[in-house]
């Protein structure tokens, strides 16, 4: 199967595809055993600042 899953960026709520290997370092965070994907490093940085706020938002989206 193709890996075309869509994820919700928990910071800005944009739909994002799983980043490629190059982007993975910058656009994904593993937090409390769950992986979150982001549209840009700005959102990644924002998530790092206040993860608990955005984790809750991500859960609602799912
Ligand atoms: Zn974003």
Q: Confirm whether 46 is domain-assigned.
A: yes
Grade residue 5 by pLDDT with cuts at 50, 70 and 90.
confident
Beta bridge partners of 14: none
Q: Confirm whether 53 is domain-assigned.
A: yes
Q: Confirm whether 37 is domain-assigned.
A: yes
DSSP three-state, residue 21: helix
9 CA to centre of ligand 1 in angstroms? 5
Domain count within the chain: 1
Strands 28-31 and 6-8: unpaired
**Taking the CA of residue 20 as centre, how many other CA atoms within 13 Å lie in the half-sphere pointing to its CB?**
1
Rounded to whole angstroms, the Cα distance separating 16 from 43 reads 12
Domain, as residue range, for 31? 6-61
The pLDDT tens digits for 6-28 are 999 999 999 999 889 889 989 99
- CB under 5 Å of ion ligand 1: residues: 9, 11-12, 14, 39, 43
Q: Confirm whether 1 is domain-assigned.
A: no
Rounded-to-10 torsion of CA 55, 29, 40, 21: -150
Supply the pLDDT for residue 4: 77
């Amino acid at each position: 199967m193709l890996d075309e899953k869509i994820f919700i960026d928990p910071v800005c709520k944009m739909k994002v595809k799983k980043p490629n290997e190059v982007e993975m370092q910058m656009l994904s965070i593993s937090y409390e055993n769950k992986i979150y994907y982001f549209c840009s490093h700005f959102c990644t940085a924002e998530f790092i600042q206040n993860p608990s706020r955005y984790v809750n938002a991500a859960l609602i989206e799912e």
